[in-house]
Structure 1
Amino acid sequence: MNEQDGVTPIRTQQPGRPGTPVAVMFDPRAAEELYELCPPGYRNHEVLRRYPLLLVRLARHHLQAELAELRQEYSDLRRELSEHLPVHAIPQALAVYRAEAAEIHRAFDRVAVLERALYAAGPPRTPAVEPEQDRPTPPTR
């Protein structure tokens, strides 16, 4: 892990909770960037804040899905819209798709840097007992 990546993972443990997992944390700006790449609902899951490697993985998968959809749209555009758009609009639209694909590839690169840094920090220790907040609530009768 190097400092030029801008990622400085550190190990943290919940205070006063021996046996809780040690989570890898990194610059909050990096986490914010990952959340910006993901659907908004991902911000609601505590486990993604506690274990950024999960957030990195979900961000990567989300980018892969976006890129696959963009490629499909690129290949379908001319066939589906050529009768409905002026001739000059098709190449302009394809240029938009290419620009968006380039942005997704740049995002992949940023995610890869974060992922490498988190893997370099090593795996978190697993707890002997699950933390309270992670236990499923038993059904009530």
Structure 2
Amino acid sequence: MAWLLELVPPEYRRYGVFRRYPPTLVRMARQHVEACVTAAREGFRTARVDLGESVPPHGVEALLEVYRREGTRLAALAEAIKLVEAALREQSPSPSPGPSTPAP
């Protein structure tokens, strides 16, 4: 739980639902990290065009290296979160079916 809370914005710590129901925190962490991966990819693709006139080439290259490193880190986090999510699914009991009615 503590690790997952470190992956989401700090404001999320205010919501008790995440502590009561770990799958809710896993879901939010997965979505948050996946959105960060998407943003890093977009930033990488557009950095040269967006910053070409205001940042020297070596500055843009340095930024692209940050995107590469962060992209790799974020992708690994996304995979780790998926493993935690799968483990929680295996660990939690399946909801029991409702009461069965006898056949007529």
TM category (shorter chain) comes to 0.7 to 0.9
The AA in structure 1 aligned to 2:13 is R
Identical-residue share of aligned pairs (%)? 35
Unaligned runs of 5+ in 2: 97-104
1:45 aligned onto 2:12:
no
The alignment's C-alpha RMSD in Å is 1.6
Pairwise mapping of residues 1-141 of structure 1 onto structure 2 (< 5 A)? 31-123=1-93
Distance 2:34 2:56 in 1: 31
Q: Partners of 1:124 and 1:35 in 2: how far apart?
A: 25
- Kindly provide the CA deviation profile for residues 72-127 of structure 1, in whole angstroms up to 9, marking residues without a partner as x: 1111110011111222222221111010011101111221121111000124769x
Amino acid at match of 1:104: L
Secondary structure at the residue paired with 1:85? coil
* Alpha-carbon distance between aligned partners in 2 of 1:124 and 1:43, rounded to the nearest angstrom: 28
Q: 1 or 2 for the larger relative contact order (CA 8 Å, sep ≥6)?
A: 1
Residues 39-79 of structure 1 show CA distances to partners (whole Å, capped at 9, x for unaligned) of 11111111110110110000000011111111111111100
Q: Number of matched residues?
A: 96
Amino acid corresponding to residue 10 of structure 2 in structure 1: P
Q: Which amino acid aligns with 1:81?
A: L
After superposition, give the CA deviation of every residue in 1:10-64 in whole Å (9 maximum; x if it has no partner).
xxxxxxxxxxxxxxxxxxxxx1110111011111111110110110000000011
2-structure distance, mates of 1:82, 1:110? 35
